[in-house]
Amino acid sequence: MLYHPVGKEKSLKDAIIVVLATEHPLTAKKIYNIVKREGFNVSYHAVYKAVKYLIEQGTVSMENKDYRINSRWIENVKRFINTFESVSIAKEGIESNYFKKLLLSGLFTIERGRIKLYGNMEWILNPATAYACMLQEIGEKLGAEELYELGYRAGKRGASEFIKFGNLKPKGGWESIQPILDTLEFIGFGKPKFVVAKLEKDGGHHFLLRIKDNPIIEIAAKKFGAKSVVCNWLMGVYTAHGEAELGVKNGRLRENKCMCKGLPYCEWESKW
Ligand SMILES: [Zn+2]
């Protein structure tokens, strides 16, 4: 008997999915022979019709008269199960770890050994100390202003990928920036607290952010103290995202306070 995860009473369509999950690719004739053997008293025409229906529904795909389960459908089912699990876990209060939540919700996946966001956007993870030192060296060589510019340009490239792969509305306001803020927190860029967040329709704005829990800044504070310039790079990245997703016009973050100078948080401000 075919193993069926849903229930005892199988419909012909369910049976075809189970057949193809167990063995593939198969021709319509072979599918027909198997379901007959499994006790379905149906005509070849009925099997063929059911397969056609499953193709229309996106469950089954066809290539050269061979049928198989559509891999995209499997991905969707997987995502559905992951989301269901993460929601259940969150409700039960067992796990509040953001890293796990993002992985479980299927936003981040590992495909053929590579990390992808939204299924398509390539990611790498960096060791934080090496990253902090690299930024500091670039900043010392080129100057703090140039480091900000580099961060800004990197942020712009990142933002256009976020918008493309995440289907975010460019300059879409808070709805578009939220997934970015979640991701920045997830990758260790800290969680910004908005002390002032004024945004006009024409992009005029006043933002005052406080940044905490950022491993790069904390490492730089320890290693370079008041000489640290790494915040410039991060401010450049944040500025780019503010413009691309939030719709801020002529953003330019300036640092009022810095953890590297012994304060409990960094405070960044942009006004236009
Ligand atoms: Zn700082």
pLDDT at 120 over 70: yes
- The answer to whether 135 touches 126, Cβ cutoff 8 Å, is no
* Domain over 128-271 is classified CATH 3.30.1380.20: yes
Report how far residue 206's alpha carbon sits from residue 247's, in angstroms, rounded to the nearest whole number. 12
> In angstroms, what is the span from residue 191 Cα to ligand 1's centroid?
13
**Class for the domain spanning 12-69:** mainly alpha
> In angstroms, what is the span from residue 130 Cα to ligand 1's centroid?
18
Task: Out of 106-110, 171-175, 193-197, pick the least confident.
Answer: 106-110
- Domain chopping of the chain, boundaries: 12-69, 85-123, 128-271
Task: Out of 101-105, 135-139, 214-218, pick the least confident.
Answer: 101-105
Q: If pLDDT is split at 50, 70 and 90, which confidence band does 110 have?
A: confident
> In angstroms, what is the span from residue 45 Cα to ligand 1's centroid?
70
> In angstroms, what is the span from residue 92 Cα to ligand 1's centroid?
37
> In angstroms, what is the span from residue 117 Cα to ligand 1's centroid?
28
CA-to-CA dists, residue 131 to 41, 59, 92, 127, 135, angstroms: 65, 44, 36, 6, 6
Mean pLDDT of 201-226: 94
| Averaged pLDDT score across all residues of the chain | 87
> In angstroms, what is the span from residue 159 Cα to ligand 1's centroid?
22
pLDDT at 213 over 50: yes
Per-residue model confidence (pLDDT) at position 105: 66
> In angstroms, what is the span from residue 269 Cα to ligand 1's centroid?
12
Mean pLDDT of 160-185: 88
Q: Comparing 12-69 with 128-271, is the CATH topology the same?
A: no
How far, in whole angstroms, is CA 206 from its chain's centroid? 28
Determine what percent of the chain is predicted with pLDDT higher than 90: 57
Residues with Cβ within 5 Å of ion ligand 1? Answer: 231, 258, 266
Describe the crossing of helices 128-142 and 215-224 by its angle, rounded to 10 degrees: 60
- The answer to whether 21 touches 13, Cβ cutoff 8 Å, is no
> In angstroms, what is the span from residue 26 Cα to ligand 1's centroid?
61
Q: If pLDDT is split at 50, 70 and 90, which confidence band does 89 have?
A: low
pLDDT at 164 over 90: yes
SS3 per-residue string spanning 183-229: HHHHCCCCEEEEEEEEECCCCCEEEEEEEECCHHHHHHHHHHHHHCC
> In angstroms, what is the span from residue 203 Cα to ligand 1's centroid?
25
> In angstroms, what is the span from residue 220 Cα to ligand 1's centroid?
9
